[in-house]
Structure 1
């Protein structure tokens, strides 16, 4: 088995586990920015909704990583650029979504 595939599986499993933990409303300490906020700043945000969104994001990124792995294993050269571009696109979209509209404020 190729070392790259083993690393890909390990990263995917890590992202899936973290996604599930966040979806359950736990693990808010893993969210950058939120974990460094003061208690009065944290009180302004809906922690459950923020964790749920970040869990969904982690699971979507896990699915993209699985797609990348399938492209590598099946040697689908034409799909590799699409798979590679999806993670930054989803991440930038998530950043824009979270920072507009005060979606997670109480």
Structure 2
């Protein structure tokens, strides 16, 4: 194996842990942008729904890391490309979905 395996394993574990914590509606201070708002602005948003959404995104990113790990083990460049597309696509979807409109406002 040419590439280091512990990097995607550690990233996948981190995303899984963050996904589990955020899916429970906890640790909203980890969400960039939301943590920078003042209390008045935070009251306008549904914190539980935002945390659950970000938890699901963390699970998607963990899946992308699993594809990356599979590409390293199997030495398959197609899986690496798929994992990178899925990673970038998930992040782009999250930014557009959460930022556009008033989806998480009360």
| Runs of 4+ with deviation above 6 angstroms | none
Q: TM-score, with normalisation over the residues of structure 1?
A: 0.93
- Separation in structure 1 between the aligned mates of residue 52 and residue 42 of structure 2, nearest angstrom: 16
- Separation in structure 1 between the aligned mates of residue 51 and residue 74 of structure 2, nearest angstrom: 34
Q: TM-score, with normalisation over the residues of structure 2?
A: 0.93
- The aligned counterpart of 1:17 is 17
- Give, in angstroms, the shift of residue 7 of structure 1: 1.6
Q: Give the number of aligned pairs.
A: 106
- Separation in structure 1 between the aligned mates of residue 7 and residue 80 of structure 2, nearest angstrom: 17
Give structure 2 stretches of 5+ with no counterpart: none
What is the Cα-based RMSD across aligned positions, in Å? 1.5
- The aligned counterpart of 1:64 is 64
